[in-house]
Structure 1
Amino acid sequence: MTRVDNKERVLRLMGILSEETDEDHELSLDDIINRFKQMFGPEVKLNKNSLKDDLEHLIRNNFDVTINQEKEGLPKYYSHQYRLFELYELRMLIDAVVSAKFISKKETRQLTGKIKRLTSLHQGKKLHNEIQIDSSIKSESPYIRLAIHDIHEAIAERRMITFQYGRYDVKKQFNLSHEGKLYKVKPYALAWANDFYYLIAYYFEADEIRHYRVDRLRNVEPLSETFPYQPFDVSKYVQSTFHMFAGDEEWIKVSFQNHLINVIIDKFGKDVDIQRDGEDHFILTTKARVSSGLVNWILNFGSQARVISPPSLVETVKTEVSKLHSLYHSG
């Protein structure tokens, strides 16, 4: 006859309740004994009084056990209902993982599997309906996970890092920039924007703050060299960039049609400086990094947006509009 050690019995009981029960699924003592028989064989020696003592022990030690007995004389049913995450929260986590372009397809499967284990097996099956995206846009880079870990550690410890950086060409070949030389930076923050992770850092060679797509980093190496704490407003930096293009920060004014107000609030927040511009338009006033990313963002709105200042940005947009016009009217 098989005997189960008292400590192991309690641990197995916790596992059974965690994996197989929730607010919609309960087990009686007979059901629990059957689960033990499935684990240890039909000859396992268990009695209900021992299991009741184990359940009381779990309750005394703050492990959630809900006891349900509708009528006197009927069997009691037991379940573990309290979870650190609600089901909708787990669904949001899975949707975020599935949507993230920088997470490879293999890692997506691994992460979603782990998230499903944070609830019961029954509820985990309800999480299979992830949002549908084009899996071809998922990264296949094996470097991202380690790079993110190393960068987080370096930021926390204020250690400088070096890395190589590159981009793909029209032949879909990855080519290192800067002739493959190492970039040495002070890592300030990791930011999530446009479905990608970006490293925001001070680049010594250019004597300026820059940002880099993490999936384009190679050979990230934290150094022993440290740097003093410097306050840095990550949200302000990201808000002032457009499509994460670098540029000099300037005050800009742009007139938009009224129906675009929600687009502007989504980008800049409810505290953004706007003023009425007649009956049909409003003027946005903000600091922004003037770059090709900003120009492209403005052109997205076509005739529904008009740059007022600075004059240099007005001229740049005019030039781009002229080029676009010529492109479609040449020949």
Structure 2
Amino acid sequence: MRKLKKTERILGLINVLKKFTDEENELKIREIMEHLQEEFGEDFEIHEMSVSRDLKELQQSRYIDLIVNSDGEGKPKYYSYKNRLFEIQELRLLMDAISSARFITKSEKEKMIAKIKQLTSIPLANNLVNEIYIDDYAIDEAKTVKYRIFSLHNAIQEKKVIRFIYGRYNIDKEFVLSNDGKPRVLHPYALIWKNDYYYLIGKYEKEGEMVHFRVDRMVDVEVTDETFELDPDFEISSYVRQLFHMFAGVEKTLKVRFHNRLINVIIDRFGKNISVKKDGEDFFIIETKAMISDGLVSWLLTWGNNAQVIEPPELVEKLKDESKKIYDLYHSEK
């Protein structure tokens, strides 16, 4: 039988402790040796005395948090590795976020979740059963989204101008390039995750207009060597708050009268700092900045007669027109 080098034995020991022990699972030295034997194979000789010395060195080391418990003098000692980088609750959140992301394919989700489980012990990983249904909604182009996101993060960090082509699906479910397939040139400002998709926020190089694009619909993304300066007055959070369903539009002052039952909806949408003014016993009025867009119209119509737009006038007219179309749709003769 071959003898293990001390370095190999200690590395194997650390690996066993990380894989099989945690806050709830401890191992005796004989159990550790069994795992080590499985790790290296029967061709290698493992002695209890050597493993015991290694464990003592690890206990005294500042590079690994080895916990040793014992019921008393002469009683067996129990060893465990704790204080991992991620708590089990945090790993659960990561798994749920990945499972819910619509821009990641089912096979990619399953691979990523398997990797996340390796960040904890095997016993705890066995309890990390994914409770969120993983569908296969993501389009074929989504297989390359993670590489696209990585490139965009670098471009944002290094303030590099990007070029890309954008597209959408038509009624025949064909991916059609917009802008006649011509590249767009953009100063990338930030990536956000909204409605289970990644969006890139940036400024058109020539027009200077702030825009956003769904990353999974961007193709042929090229990070150029050209750099740009950020607009110091632009606030990402303010821009995102003004969008509804990620539709762009013209910024206006929005004043809406809501029924009291929608107060939680409004707080969820605008945050607790939104100005709320009571209007009688059953209603309240909010005033904020928003992008006047089809997305906003759709969102307001969701609440029926529990939401009444006061300003701006052009939005009032849009809602009247859309309400009439809905009425005509259900009252026209077949």
Name the TM-score class by shorter chain: over 0.9
Aligned length: 330
Asked if the contact 2:155–2:162 (Cα under 8 Å) also holds between the matched residues in 1, the reply is yes
Measure the CA separation in 1 of the matches of 2:160 and 2:130.
Answer: 42
Q: Equivalent residue for 1:247?
A: 249
Q: What is the CA deviation profile of residues 232-269 of structure 1, one whole-angstrom value per residue up to 9, with x for unaligned ones?
A: 31111110010111111110100000010010001111
Q: Equivalent residue for 2:160?
A: 159
Measure the CA separation in 2 of the matches of 1:40 and 1:284.
Answer: 67
Q: Equivalent residue for 2:100?
A: 99
Asked if the contact 1:19–1:119 (Cα under 8 Å) also holds between the matched residues in 2, the reply is yes
Measure the CA separation in 2 of the matches of 1:12 and 1:21.
Answer: 14
**Residue 279 (structure 2) aligned to one of 266, 277, 280:** 277
Q: Equivalent residue for 1:45?
A: 45
SS in 2 for 1:25: coil
Q: Equivalent residue for 2:33?
A: 33
Cα offset for 1:41? 3.6
The amino acid across from 1:254 in the alignment is V
Cα offset for 1:205? 4.9
Cα offset for 1:103? 1.3
Cα offset for 1:190? 0.7
Q: Equivalent residue for 2:138?
A: 138
SS in 2 for 1:319: helix
Distance 1:298 1:220, change over 3 A: same
Within 5 Å, give how 1:51-90 maps onto structure 2: 51-59=51-59, 60-90=61-91
**Residue 306 (structure 2) aligned to one of 296, 304, 307:** 304
Q: Equivalent residue for 2:187?
A: 186
Measure the CA separation in 1 of the matches of 2:271 and 2:236.
Answer: 15
Measure the CA separation in 2 of the matches of 1:177 and 1:221.
Answer: 17
The amino acid across from 1:178 in the alignment is N
Cα offset for 1:43? 5.3
The amino acid across from 2:283 in the alignment is H
Q: Equivalent residue for 1:317?
A: 319
Measure the CA separation in 1 of the matches of 2:315 and 2:16.
Answer: 65
Q: Equivalent residue for 1:9?
A: 9
Measure the CA separation in 1 of the matches of 2:38 and 2:167.
Answer: 54
Measure the CA separation in 2 of the matches of 1:130 and 1:221.
Answer: 38
Q: What is the CA deviation profile of residues 265-298 of structure 1, one whole-angstrom value per residue up to 9, with x for unaligned ones?
A: 0111100011001100000100000011111110
Measure the CA separation in 2 of the matches of 1:111 and 1:129.
Answer: 12
- TM-score between the two structures when normalised by the length of structure 1: 0.96
Whether 2:278 is the aligned partner of 1:288: answer no
Measure the CA separation in 1 of the matches of 2:140 and 2:105.
Answer: 5
- TM-score between the two structures when normalised by the length of structure 2: 0.95
SS in 1 for 2:230: coil
Percent of matched pairs sharing the same residue: 46
Measure the CA separation in 2 of the matches of 1:68 and 1:304.
Answer: 62
Aligned-CA RMSD value:
1.4
Cα offset for 1:32? 1.6
Measure the CA separation in 2 of the matches of 1:43 and 1:76.
Answer: 27
Cα offset for 1:139? 3.9
SS in 2 for 1:137: coil
Structure 2 residue runs of 5 or longer lacking an equivalent are none
Measure the CA separation in 2 of the matches of 1:304 and 1:146.
Answer: 44
Q: Equivalent residue for 2:269?
A: 267
Measure the CA separation in 2 of the matches of 1:143 and 1:34.
Answer: 42
Cα offset for 1:33? 1.6
Measure the CA separation in 1 of the matches of 2:127 and 2:139.
Answer: 26
Measure the CA separation in 1 of the matches of 2:147 and 2:87.
Answer: 30
Q: Equivalent residue for 2:149?
A: 148
Q: Equivalent residue for 1:169?
A: 170
Whether 2:21 is the aligned partner of 1:21: answer yes
Greater shift, 225-234 or 215-224, is seen at 225-234
Cα offset for 1:315? 0.9
Measure the CA separation in 2 of the matches of 1:167 and 1:158.
Answer: 27
The amino acid across from 2:28 in the alignment is S
Measure the CA separation in 1 of the matches of 2:46 and 2:145.
Answer: 49
